[in-house]
Amino acid sequence: MYNSVKKYLKVLVLATAAQGLFATAAYAQDPGHYGLGRIATEEEVAGWDIDVRPDGLGLPDGSGSVSVGEGLYEAQCASCHGLFGEGEGRWPVLAGGEGTLTDDRPQKTVGSYWPYASTLWDYTRRAMPFTAPQSLSVDETYAITAYVLYLNELVEEDFVLTKENFLTVKMPNAEGFFEDDRPDVKNTACMKDCKDPASIKVISTIAGVSPTEHLEEKGAEESEAAEPGNVHGKAIYKQSCAVCHDHGVAGAPKTGDNEIWADRLVPGMEAVVERAISGYTGEDGVMPPKGGNMSLSDEDVTAAVHYMVEQSQ
């Protein structure tokens, strides 16, 4: 029994050594190859290489109009992003928000925040619709991109987006992004003979990032009292109402139009607020409940309505 085991072990050792020699020879002939997988085909590489750069590199030939994009958007996108890009529930808002990036509640949308139209095209093609990513054709992607740009008033109603005119679309916040060319440094915390913090003068801050509460000279109550108007209503308005009421979309009374708001207020403020909360359909237009943003409370909507009325008197 013992001799049999010894013979078996000798054979096993010899076989393992031989395999090692063969493997070493193969490795020497083909450095870096471990015998795993295979080289990807050109078609497989092309399937992954679908990114589009800000300079348009990577855009395929194709075209899509605003009018065609409207139907595609309503069928593929509106259930999450809302008919007017206002966002359903907690889904991302796509339109509006211009001028809000420095507010306490900035609205980061395609029109207010995104620096390049290529980001919209690339993400739509790569990841949308949410339930069937990469199911849109090239022309459908162009059309939906054109329509979302139209919702943000960046192109006209008869606009047709193509590879050739893509770079003519200028995004409002393009200059808001820039390369940080500051050198990387290693800062050592001061442990002795440190500078008096009271003598340090802050000359600039990054809104929403740099803590500035300790620099406020006014008390909290005084600062709040000095804030003009309906601050909460203004924030809600810019977040969820401006996309329609800034421009009178779907019969929405345009904020600042004294005459039309005087007519809407004939039934009384309570009736107007109730319509805003519960929704309204009539000859004057269509108002979805809470503007389509059901995450708002009744108090939020009430504050927003009061803000619009204040701005329209």
- Contact of 143 with 65, CB cutoff 8 Å: yes
- Is residue 219 situated within a structural domain? no
- Is residue 79 situated within a structural domain? yes
Residues 64 and 167 in one domain: yes
Render each residue's pLDDT in the chain as its tens digit; 313 residues: 445 444 444 444 444 444 444 444 444 445 556 778 888 999 999 888 889 999 999 999 999 999 999 999 999 999 999 999 999 888 999 999 999 999 989 999 999 999 999 999 999 999 999 889 999 999 999 999 999 999 999 999 999 999 999 999 999 999 998 888 877 776 677 777 887 877 777 666 555 555 555 555 544 444 444 445 578 888 888 878 887 888 777 678 888 888 888 888 888 888 888 888 888 787 777 788 888 788 888 888 898 889 988 888 8
Residues 170 and 65 in one domain: yes
Residue 204: its pLDDT value, please?
61
Residues 171 and 235 in one domain: no
Residue 223: its pLDDT value, please?
44
Residues 84 and 149 in one domain: yes
φ, ψ at 111 (rounded to 5°): -80, -30
Residues 65 and 172 in one domain: yes
Spatial separation of the C-alpha atoms in residues 247 and 18, rounded to whole Å? 80
Q: How many domains does the chain have?
A: 2
- Is residue 296 situated within a structural domain? yes
- Is residue 194 situated within a structural domain? no
Residue 227: its pLDDT value, please?
46
Q: Which CATH number goes with the domain that contains 139?
A: 1.10.760.10
Spatial separation of the C-alpha atoms in residues 140 and 46, rounded to whole Å? 20
Residue 225: its pLDDT value, please?
44
Residue 275: its pLDDT value, please?
85
- Is residue 203 situated within a structural domain? no
Residue 63, strand partner residues: 162
Count Cβ neighbours within 10 Å for each residue of 59-90 and write b for 16 or more, e otherwise.
beeebbbbebbbebbeebbbebbbbbbbbbee
Tally: H helices and E strands in the chain:
12, 4
Q: What's the domain range around 67?
A: 60-176
Spatial separation of the C-alpha atoms in residues 121 and 137, rounded to whole Å? 12
Spatial separation of the C-alpha atoms in residues 50 and 125, rounded to whole Å? 9
Residue 157: its pLDDT value, please?
95
| Cα–Cα nearest to 207, from 104, 97, 98 | 104
- Is residue 181 situated within a structural domain? no
Please give the structure tokens belonging to residue 42.
């050109």
| Cα–Cα nearest to 104, from 239, 269, 218, 6 | 239
Which residues are within 8 A (CB) of 272 and not within 5 positions of it... i.e. 6 or more apart? 264, 265, 305, 309
Residue 229: its pLDDT value, please?
59
Residues 75 and 158 in one domain: yes
Residues 235 and 171 in one domain: no
* Domain limit, last residue, from 159, 176, 193: 176
Q: What element of type H or E holds 286?
A: strand 285-287
Residues 154 and 247 in one domain: no
| Cα–Cα nearest to 60, from 122, 146, 12, 4 | 122
